[in-house]
A and B are shown apart, each in its own frame.
Chain A
Amino acid sequence: MEYLKYIAIGIMMMSAAANAIGESNICTHAIDNMGRNPEMYGKLRTAMILGCSLVETTAIYCLLVSILLIFVG
């Protein structure tokens, strides 16, 4: 039964894939629009990093729960 924990962690970290898709969407659109109007480069980069870090939160929740399951639980 001890090993079921690691299967749970594996399933949990699959959500990182969905997270990567979301982040790649943000980056794609940001870079598209940077190419279209380069004078907005600075503002778009800031917004992109902020958006990425907000989206990243889900992956961090998963990582947090996984770490807790490995070391503490």
Chain B
Amino acid sequence: MNLIIFEKITVADKLNSMFDFKFVPQTFMALVVMAIILVFAIIIGIMVRKAKITDKPKGILLLAILFFQTIDNFTLSIMSSRYRDFTKYMIVIVPYLFICFTISLTGLPSPVVYLATPLILALTTFVLVHSAAIKENKWGYFKRYIEPNPVFLPINLISMWAPTLALTFRLFGNALSGFCIMNLVYYGLEGLSDVIFNSSFSGAIGIQSIWIAPLVTPFLHLYFDLFSGFIQTLVFSMLTLIYVSQEQSQEDENQVIEEVVS
């Protein structure tokens, strides 16, 4: 009699569950990531209010300040200083994406593997880009759709969605390929472990399949979760900044003031 404690879910089942838009674990995980960021934000907010200017920042506050400075420099290296408010958006999106990728280190499902999460993130970028363009050009914004001549209107309307699609599938494809390879490796190693330890652990049913995987998979986790997550966060935030800054005028704040004065 061969009882299995956990019912084995194959990779195909997991993938099938990803494409029907129901309440899947990934949706729940997106909320969990949000909750983690919220807790950190509240803690840091309380610490910032308690801190005095004369004291040296310590611990988590120091890390928060360093993080803020890094993001601020990153934003200013691409955008002009007139749009410094954009740092506030980046300070949310960078930890969100990075925690989304790294949460799979804990064994919980990553929300990026669910198509809705990258799609929503890319749509946010889309809204930001077009609102920046409308803010900059006012009614001249609609001129871009009939750019060489009005015949190109349908082509322009389609190509409007190309960056959004690219952003979505870049994130989704990266996360999904890592997820698939990890799952296949886990599945194979469980089988191997079953074969090797089945005789010696015949009393404890189901436990014989967990022995080999922890020796091999940490390196894969290191690449697919940490490295890939970091790179994709960097690429997503940088592309968002570049797309938005293309629509904005590149004059510095100081230049504008100088022009007004002279």
Contact = CB atoms under 8 A, between A and B. Distances in A.
Contacts of B235: 50, 53-54
A67 B176 contact: yes
Interface residues of A, number: 13
A71 B172 contact: no
A63 interface: yes
Contacts of A72: 12, 15-16, 19
Given A60-B170, A64-B169, A72-B16, A50 B238 contact: yes
How many B residues are at the interface, by size bracket?
Answer: 10 to 19
Contacts of A68: 15
Contact of A64 (B166, B172, B231, B232): B172
Nearest to B14: A71
Contacts, number: 42
Instruction: Provide the main secondary structure of the chain A interface.
Output: helix
A61 interface: yes
Contacts of B159: none
A68 B15 CA distance: 8
Contacts of B11: 71
B232 A71 contact: no
A71 B180 CA distance: 10
B173 A64 contact: yes
A20 interface: no
A63 B234 contact: no
Nearest to A46: B234
B168 to A, nearest CB: 11
Given A57-B166, A67-B180, A49 B173 contact: no
A26 B102 CA distance: 28
B177 interface: yes
B177 A60 contact: yes
Given A53-B235, A72-B19, A64 B177 contact: yes
A57 B168 CA distance: 11
Interface in A28-73: 49-50, 53-54, 57, 60-61, 63-64, 67-68, 71-72
B174 interface: yes
Contacts of A61: 169, 173
A57 B176 CA distance: 13
Contacts of A63: 173, 177
Contacts of B176: 64, 67
Interface string B3-25: 00000000110011001000000
Please give me the 9 A-B residue pairs with the lowest Cβ-Cβ distance, nearest first: A60-B173, A64-B173, A71-B15, A71-B12, A53-B231, A63-B177, A57-B170, A53-B235, A67-B180
Interface of A: 49-50, 53-54, 57, 60-61, 63-64, 67-68, 71-72
Interface of B: 11-12, 15-16, 19, 166, 169-170, 172-174, 176-177, 180, 231-232, 234-235, 238
Given A50-B231, A57-B173, A72-B19, 14 more contacts: A53-B231, A57-B170, A60-B169, A60-B170, A60-B173, A64-B172, A64-B176, A64-B177, A67-B176, A71-B12, A71-B16, A71-B180, A72-B12, A72-B15
